[in-house]
Structure 1
């Protein structure tokens, strides 16, 4: 649909949107104003250079930046004729956007799409700056920051936008860019920012009423209630206090004008916030705002003393009775207790929840097509574990509705507006979400989820509370299971391809998983045409270190040897299965998890996967076939080139292993050799099972059979070990590595190079596995490696001894 794109505006959002388009194999022309001095492209050049330094990186791999071209409005508008999609991401001022639209209109292709990344300006208003013929191909396309990582995109029609175009855009955003799309209405701040801003302002107002410190409020409004760690005030610092003030002002202007809002009086910047901005304290971008770093100590602004103090970053600040309420697993019980508790922290929390419930109920008809869209917008755009209607429904629709209305009647709520009549009409239905869909206040009906064909690729889509009845259709049929894995099928999708999922804690690869995986392959070979390894992230955290540490403490080193031999048997079973085994990977695939995927016939990887062989961090080496696979690939690559020796291809793998380097994306994992060029990378992790099942089906129907185990593998041997050691010695010059690190590095080199034998020796696959096993056992018997294992289990952090 989009072969080339342009992004107008090289600010924080524009540059990062361009980066994500480049991640998705879409070349981009990034525009901004011509620089007043020096190179006219200076503004864009600096923005593009900044992309390479940002953390977390907006680029899936460093070379993606080569697909972002630089341009300026004065010289290069004709380049817009190359582009199928133009995304405007300049400052949030309608007059600036209108002027730019008039300038670019003559250069836009007739069939090109133009979209604004505005976070809240009316799309209908903006569309008026285009010629009549272009208006049906203009819409709002609001990405959330950072665009690579935040799933939500709000898609907004101007009222004139072609419905077919919006359907095409939604499908493209979902599958190609990996986004979660909500069709927002053209109202101020659209959906997520409308509710998110109000929630933040409500928290700020009630924090002042109940005299709670900023840091205490952040403890209360973060993970304890299913919200991100940034909570309220940290989030304000991250957004930028000046930006937040601008959003508040925009919201007030919009709601005082054509949009009636009983809460409009609260769209005002608190006096303390105005003072901070006047002092240049704008949050993270200036180094201080509500919070600041004083050396290693984080400090927070204390309004009572009008100065910074050390931050109380401890749950000890939460009153015990309030903490007990928040730990209550019954939503209904939790909210009943919050309402009954007189502690200021409990009263604060109930007040914030109450006013958000009130707000979203009153405004549902105005700001969202249905309750599902609003809830998912808050989950995808703000990281809430549940949207407000989900929280309300799970706590008991009627009891919450009655409590909110009682507070409104008693003048305790922020607004005296009554709850809409539909709220009480939904009591008999238990709320707004049902198995067949969610309530639309504007239409007075239940709206089902989107039926666009792209969503058929999501076998397990995100569901809201109350939709669970639908999930039984896709829960699958269990074939066999043990304590570590479940083997099952999806008869509705493909009854000939089996799925095996890890069920162990944290998806670690203990003895039950190894035996279970072998059994799964055997059953797939007997009764099915293929096997897919898939489960929710993480893919696998590797060997069960607690199990290994227990054997070490008991002196049972022979059992450790048997465990590694069983691990190698499992990976070889995956590699030489008589049916195609496809690994569908998302999240972490570390250590043994990485070795599992390396041995499968095929892999399909979610973009945001973190993959690596990290055993060196605990003083060990990969011994489940990871070193062996790299040795074989080095020999194969050497044979193909004819001009290089195996050690030339060993060195990158050696560096990754000894530094325990984990890929920042699936693309980086491909660069590191964990993922092959032929393995597809999926931007939308929800599509993984669908794609994996079809890859397995396609391989089976193409007549899949496993390759023969390689013989006469030419290894780098003793000379290769020496080369690796020399390379590591250079890495050690900065003092980052200890003497034991050097020993571990030599062990890794030995396994990768086929053992301490002559360079060019010919060995088979089993030889390489035996070298791995022997080297691993040597390290397990080493006291310093044992200390590293125990330290990681005790602290969760690596030890450099």
Structure 2
């Protein structure tokens, strides 16, 4: 792995600053440089500043850094990481580039400017320092023409996708002169430190993802004009039903920016030789007209869609491309679309839609056919293998399946037969596949790693990272120890077991609780430790709210009480298991999902983990031990006799739970004490289960001993009144409703330990009883039931 301890980013625009932000996210001190402004702003003149003042000379880099705090979603894990970014300029600070290990160029997309910049960099360049360009399409070779051989050996392309924090793809583009060892080092560094999915691309126009993605968008635009559809109608077809993001085609274009899209498309058109391909990348006149009107999308307030205020609130209008006026959105009505939506798997959805004999099906078939044919025809021009292409589109454009995986899903033989009938030219790669007697690009034997069709007419193994644990494959290998509808216990090797949730949305119900209890017994008897994790969309969104609401509406209090008791007991079993337990949360980890993590010995969280005890949003408080666990975390290291210190800590817990704080990253989760300082954070989610397993093994080797129960000091009646007064002040100020106040009062009573003297030492069971009683009483409140019902139907909280 490359030994990169310090870095520099040149260019503090949107992309450059965001790259610097992500380097800071992973703990790398970064120098952020830009040009010296040519003149002062009016504000600088009023302050008496001149072009000689550092404040003016570093203005562009300072502005880029400051912007990182304002952008939503945030490019940084936590505001504190910005301390690692040092702004400067290319005149005063150029020599500081000799102090860094990696220099990333992210300036304007102009070849002459880049060439001049690299000439200047080489004057201060320290041999061994890696230099790369973040260009999205300019020739990597051309940038360093005239540079020394040593410089060229350390130079390559590193194309980040925006925003760098969230987009997994990093395209690495070596030149013919790049040292292969440096390519390997950067790949390992990007995967293990930056958390990226790396694809090796060739130095061709717009590399892999943008080449295919832009082509697909232009094909979709053309088909929209031909079939007289609107952008809203097309987006209904090109979103999740085809395995694409909810933003589909035109909402995505608005997010990217139409000017950016036009620039990328024209870059391909001007750099390819084939007349047919040049024509395919011709930007439609309507798009040019929108750019000339500054209808660029989200950043200008309007594009293919426009958000307006109406008497009923906010409404999103769609652009009528015939009149260039905005109109209310229309819902596309098509039998094939509705049938496809009801299909259980994506391959079924795709086959249902693209083989349908109605306008929606024909539209979907036409654009998919064009993209598949174009992509296959670009091999080996843009990449040496189809896996790189599939990964690029999944990681760079958030497709659920890559182009070749999609081709397998709809059936290669069936689709190619139809393409031939329609007079399409079949690319050599596809002809070679079928001539070899194969019918799919990927081949998998049960329990075995996937294999892929390669140039040369044979299947080869797909390269896998050594830190990858594939739960689906382990199941095929009969590594399941126990299983039910909601969860499975899986042997992940080295005498470590993994508890996987797989209920709908990973919501916690009776099946998961039963499996937790089974896991505790099994691990205690036969394993070195337990990991709690899964490979779903999110770790866990909480308890089964529908079940809770049904039991409450039926006044089935004994059953509901038993359910909560069992959940509390299962969490206690995890806390005091005689083997180490490590939770591996990622994505949405809410309510009961947090309560599963809190009693574990360690948490190994993905960097993108959004943790929060959000029960107040549905009219409840945590019922699975979350209140007790948060008290324990906030009181760690505090003298139980220090009553002065206790109240502020309880106040913090009251605020975190009472306002349903949700972390925007694992790093921020530490602020709320969902994570402790000793808990780990994994940047690359693909490595999360591996890292959690290694934590279990390390704890076992260190001679693990389980924690011992101890009594908890509470603030009692005095502290309860303090908490309730704070809530009452918010009520009187109009910040919360009467029902919010009722929920807050119940929460305050639990966190204070009830009506006992301040400083009383209570047991965990005592606090759990208070928690359960408060939870059940709120379940019986009509307004809480209204909140639960609203969340289930609208997927957002109700303030009643």
Give the aligned partner of residue 306 of structure 1: 324
Q: Does the CA contact (< 8 Å) of 1:432 and 1:438 recur in 2?
A: yes
Give 2:304's match in structure 1, choosing from 276, 290, 296.
290
Q: What secondary structure does 2:608 align onto?
A: strand
* C-alpha distance after superposition, 1:78-113 (max 9, x if no partner): 221221111111111111111111112222221111
Q: Does the CA contact (< 8 Å) of 1:408 and 1:418 recur in 2?
A: no
Q: Does the CA contact (< 8 Å) of 1:483 and 1:504 recur in 2?
A: yes
Distance apart, 1:132 and its partner CA? 2.0
Q: Does the CA contact (< 8 Å) of 1:630 and 1:653 recur in 2?
A: yes
Give 2:463's match in structure 1, choosing from 415, 433, 450.
450
Residue correspondence of structure 1 range 626-775 to structure 2 within 5 A: 626-639=626-639, 645-711=645-711, 713-729=712-728, 731-732=730-731, 735-775=734-774
Give the aligned partner of residue 74 of structure 2: 57
Taking only aligned residues, the RMSD between alpha carbons, in angstroms, comes to 2.4
- The question of 1:551 aligning with 2:551 is answered yes
Judged with a 3 Å threshold, the aligned counterparts in structure 2 of structure 1 residues 4 and 261 are, in CA distance, closer, same or farther, namely farther
Give the aligned partner of residue 423 of structure 1: 431
* C-alpha distance after superposition, 1:94-139 (max 9, x if no partner): 1111111111222222111111111111111113253221111111
Cα distance in 2 between the residues matched to 1:557 and 1:669: 34
Q: Does the CA contact (< 8 Å) of 1:647 and 1:753 recur in 2?
A: no
- The question of 1:28 aligning with 2:30 is answered yes
* C-alpha distance after superposition, 1:648-678 (max 9, x if no partner): 2222221111111211111111110011110
Q: Does the CA contact (< 8 Å) of 1:638 and 1:644 recur in 2?
A: no
Cα distance in 2 between the residues matched to 1:508 and 1:473: 21
Give the aligned partner of residue 485 of structure 1: 487
Residue correspondence of structure 1 range 220-235 to structure 2 within 5 A: 220-235=237-252
- The question of 1:252 aligning with 2:233 is answered no
Give the aligned partner of residue 106 of structure 1: 123
Judged with a 3 Å threshold, the aligned counterparts in structure 2 of structure 1 residues 279 and 634 are, in CA distance, closer, same or farther, namely closer
Give the aligned partner of residue 608 of structure 2: 608
Q: Does the CA contact (< 8 Å) of 1:127 and 1:158 recur in 2?
A: no
Cα distance in 1 between the residues matched to 2:467 and 2:786: 47
Cα distance in 2 between the residues matched to 1:189 and 1:704: 52
Give the aligned partner of residue 373 of structure 1: 388
- The question of 1:170 aligning with 2:187 is answered yes
Cα distance in 2 between the residues matched to 1:385 and 1:645: 51
Give the aligned partner of residue 526 of structure 1: 525
Q: Does the CA contact (< 8 Å) of 2:351 and 2:409 recur in 1?
A: no
Judged with a 3 Å threshold, the aligned counterparts in structure 2 of structure 1 residues 346 and 515 are, in CA distance, closer, same or farther, namely closer
Cα distance in 1 between the residues matched to 2:457 and 2:470: 28
Judged with a 3 Å threshold, the aligned counterparts in structure 2 of structure 1 residues 635 and 424 are, in CA distance, closer, same or farther, namely closer
Judged with a 3 Å threshold, the aligned counterparts in structure 2 of structure 1 residues 740 and 220 are, in CA distance, closer, same or farther, namely same
Give the aligned partner of residue 17 of structure 2: 15
Give the aligned partner of residue 459 of structure 1: 469
Distance apart, 1:729 and its partner CA? 4.4
Give 1:273's match in structure 2, choosing from 287, 293, 313.
287
Distance apart, 1:217 and its partner CA? 1.4
Distance apart, 1:794 and its partner CA? 3.5
| Higher alpha-carbon deviation: 519-528 or 547-556 | 547-556
Q: Does the CA contact (< 8 Å) of 1:371 and 1:440 recur in 2?
A: yes
* C-alpha distance after superposition, 1:60-86 (max 9, x if no partner): 112122221111112111221221111
Judged with a 3 Å threshold, the aligned counterparts in structure 2 of structure 1 residues 94 and 700 are, in CA distance, closer, same or farther, namely same
* C-alpha distance after superposition, 1:437-468 (max 9, x if no partner): 33344x665453336xxx1011229xxxxxx9
Give the aligned partner of residue 464 of structure 1: none
Residue correspondence of structure 1 range 142-541 to structure 2 within 5 A: 142-256=159-273, 260=274, 262-295=276-309, 296-312=314-330, 314=331, 317-324=332-339, 343-408=358-423, 419-420=427-428, 423-427=431-435, 428-435=437-444, 437-441=451-455, 446-450=459-463, 455-460=465-470, 471=473, 475-490=477-492, 493-494=493-494, 496-537=495-536, 538-541=538-541
* C-alpha distance after superposition, 1:190-217 (max 9, x if no partner): 0011111111111111212222222211
Q: Does the CA contact (< 8 Å) of 2:168 and 2:196 recur in 1?
A: yes
Cα distance in 1 between the residues matched to 2:634 and 2:349: 59
Distance apart, 1:641 and its partner CA? 11
Q: Does the CA contact (< 8 Å) of 2:433 and 2:441 recur in 1?
A: no
Judged with a 3 Å threshold, the aligned counterparts in structure 2 of structure 1 residues 26 and 399 are, in CA distance, closer, same or farther, namely same
* C-alpha distance after superposition, 1:312-368 (max 9, x if no partner): 2x3xx2322454367566989877776775543332222211211221121111011
Q: Does the CA contact (< 8 Å) of 1:372 and 1:433 recur in 2?
A: no
Q: Does the CA contact (< 8 Å) of 1:631 and 1:754 recur in 2?
A: no
Judged with a 3 Å threshold, the aligned counterparts in structure 2 of structure 1 residues 31 and 341 are, in CA distance, closer, same or farther, namely same
Q: What secondary structure does 1:671 align onto?
A: coil
Q: Does the CA contact (< 8 Å) of 2:670 and 2:677 recur in 1?
A: yes
Which ranges of structure 1 fall in alignment gaps of 5 or more residues?
Answer: 410-416, 462-467
Cα distance in 1 between the residues matched to 2:10 and 2:373: 38
Q: TM-score, normalised by structure 1?
A: 0.92
Equivalent residues, number: 772
Q: Does the CA contact (< 8 Å) of 1:220 and 1:318 recur in 2?
A: no
Cα distance in 2 between the residues matched to 1:48 and 1:195: 32
Give the aligned partner of residue 83 of structure 2: 66
Q: What secondary structure does 1:605 align onto?
A: strand
Cα distance in 2 between the residues matched to 1:129 and 1:219: 50
Q: What secondary structure does 1:318 align onto?
A: coil
* C-alpha distance after superposition, 1:141-167 (max 9, x if no partner): 111111111111101101111111111
Q: Does the CA contact (< 8 Å) of 1:486 and 1:501 recur in 2?
A: yes
Judged with a 3 Å threshold, the aligned counterparts in structure 2 of structure 1 residues 447 and 141 are, in CA distance, closer, same or farther, namely farther
Q: What secondary structure does 1:688 align onto?
A: helix
| Higher alpha-carbon deviation: 475-484 or 551-560 | 475-484
Cα distance in 2 between the residues matched to 1:719 and 1:106: 69
Distance apart, 1:183 and its partner CA? 0.4
Distance apart, 1:472 and its partner CA? 5.9
Q: Does the CA contact (< 8 Å) of 1:716 and 1:753 recur in 2?
A: yes
* C-alpha distance after superposition, 1:271-325 (max 9, x if no partner): 111111222222211111222122222222212223221222x3xx232245436
Residue correspondence of structure 1 range 125-144 to structure 2 within 5 A: 125-128=142-145, 130-144=147-161
Judged with a 3 Å threshold, the aligned counterparts in structure 2 of structure 1 residues 472 and 743 are, in CA distance, closer, same or farther, namely closer
Q: Does the CA contact (< 8 Å) of 2:353 and 2:360 recur in 1?
A: no
Give the aligned partner of residue 83 of structure 1: 100
Q: What secondary structure does 2:170 align onto?
A: strand
